[in-house]
Amino acid sequence: MANTAALTGFNGLRDIRRSPASHLAEALEAGSVPGTVVLKEGPFQTMAGVRVAPGSAEGSRIAAVTGGLPARCGEVAGTDSISVLWLGPSEFLVVAPEEAHDSLDGNLIGSLTAALGNAPGQVVDLSANRTTFELSGPRARAVLEKGCALDLHPRSFTPGTALATEVGNIPVVLEKTGEDSFRIFPRASFAEFLGRWLLDGMREYASPEVP
């Protein structure tokens, strides 16, 4: 019999929800090699798709909420807690921690919607549309290079860069967050395939089992 008390209200639902790659948690931990390459899921981040002309009045209002808008392909703008990724000349992906969502007493989606007002453009809550994989370590780039056509050399793909691309034939947004760290944003429906693809790419760095 279902625990109806646990299902009462949002907090109850929050306790029982599952992220798109939650069933891979043990595999991600087992497949990671500390000091070499580590894969984790960063679930439930607040995400919003924004379409707005950056030079317009509404674009300035949106920028005031997010801490800026990137001006060109590959740029990432924002603050310490909000990242704004460039998807097109007037299309952006806003990423923030889970607690920024309006359903958790945050106000990011509402603030973006209010900033746009009745002007041309769009603000869409995409928090349930994607998940986030965090890949880090000295071999993280080598794993990605097995299935990503981008030039990921540090001279070309520097920290603070994000581009729409494919990893393992899966459409993603790939962000470089540090010298040896990346965030990968696939659609939720591709989470299992991409997670297992990344694990397979990491396998050569795992220590061989002792007979």
What CATH code is carried by the domain that includes residue 186?
3.30.1360.120
pLDDT in tens, 146-179: 999 999 999 999 999 999 999 999 999 999 999 9
Residue 96 lies in a domain: yes
pLDDT in tens, 39-52: 999 999 999 999 99
| Number of domains forming the structure of the chain | 2
Helix (H, G, I), strand (E, B) or coil at 77: strand
> Half-sphere exposure of 33 toward its Cβ, with a 13 Å CA cutoff?
18
On the question of pLDDT at 135 being above 90, the answer is yes
Same domain, 90 and 62: yes
CA angle 80, 90, 135 (to 5 degrees): 45
Residues 6 or more apart whose CB falls under 8 angstroms from that of 16 comprise 6, 7
Same domain, 117 and 177: no
Q: What is the mean pLDDT of residues 50-77?
A: 96
CB-CB contact of 38 with 32 (8 Å): yes
209 vs 139: CA distance, rounded Å: 20
Range of the domain at 157: 20-43+131-203
pLDDT in tens, 5-48: 443 444 555 666 789 999 999 999 999 999 999 999 999 999 99
CATH of the domain at 120: 3.30.70.1520
